[in-house]
Amino acid sequence: MKILLVAEYRQGKLLDNYTELLAFAGIMGAESVMFTVAEAAGALPNFDGRLYLAEVSQAGEYNPETHRQLLLDVVEMEQPEMIVLSHSSYGWDLAPRLAVALRAAQISEVVAVEDGQLVASMCNGKLRRTLKSRGKITVVTTQAGAFSPTDAATGAPTVIPVGGAASGKVKLLGYETAKPGGVDLARAEVIVSAGRGVGKPENVAMVANLAKALGGEYGASRPVVDSLWVEHNRQVGTTGHTVAPKLYIACGISGAVQHLAGMKKSEFVVAINTDRDAPIGDVADVFAVADLKQLLPILTEKLQAL
Partner 1 sequence: MKLLVCIKQVPDMESKFKIGTDGWYDREGLAWRMNEYDEYGVEQAVQLKEQTGADLTVLCLGPEQVKETMKKALAMGCDRGVHIADDQSHLKDPYEIASIIAEFARDKNFDLIFTGMQSQDRASAQVGVMVAELMGLPAVTTIVGFAYADGKVTVKRELEGGVKATVEVAPPVLVTCQLGLNTPRYPTLPNIMKAKKKELLSIPAADLHKASGLQETAKIEFPAKKGGGVFLEGEVSTIADRLIGILKEKTAVLA
Half-sphere exposure of 58 (CA within 13 A, CB side): 11
> In the bound complex, what is the minimum distance in angstroms from residue 124's beta carbon to ligand FAD?
6
Select from 30, 31, 74 the least CA-distant residue to 52.
Answer: 74
Asked whether position 254 contacts ligand FAD by CB under 6 A, the answer is yes
Dihedral of CA atoms 15, 19, 25, 29 in degrees, nearest 10, equals 160
Positions in 133-172 near partner 1 (CB under 8 A): 133-135, 168-172
Asked whether position 190 contacts partner 1 by CB under 8 A, the answer is yes
Give the single-character DSSP code of 44. -
- Per the document, the length of the chain is 306
Asked whether position 92 contacts partner 1 by CB under 8 A, the answer is yes
Other C-beta atoms lying within 10 Å of the C-beta of residue 211? 22
Positions in 228-267 near partner 1 (CB under 8 A): 228, 238-240, 246-247, 254, 267
Angle between helices 64-78 and 91-102 (to 10 degrees): 50
Q: Contacting ligand FAD (CB under 6 A), which of 50, 67, 259, 264? A: 259
Q: Taking contact as CB under 6 A, which single stretch among the options 5-13, 106-114, 158-166, 235-243 is the one that binds ligand FAD?
A: 235-243
Asked whether position 212 contacts ligand FAD by CB under 6 A, the answer is no
**What is the C-alpha to C-alpha distance for residues 94 and 214, in angstroms, rounded to an integer?**
45
Asked whether position 103 contacts partner 1 by CB under 8 A, the answer is yes
What is the pairing mode between strands 2-7 and 82-86? parallel
Asked whether position 219 contacts ligand FAD by CB under 6 A, the answer is no
Q: Contacting partner 1 (CB under 8 A), which of 82, 214, 236, 250? A: 214
Within 8 A by CB and 6+ apart from 228, the residues are none
Asked whether position 242 contacts ligand FAD by CB under 6 A, the answer is no
Asked whether position 274 contacts ligand FAD by CB under 6 A, the answer is yes
Residue numbers at the binding site for ligand FAD (CB under 6 A): 195-197, 221-223, 235-240, 252-254, 256, 258-259, 262, 272-275, 278, 291-293
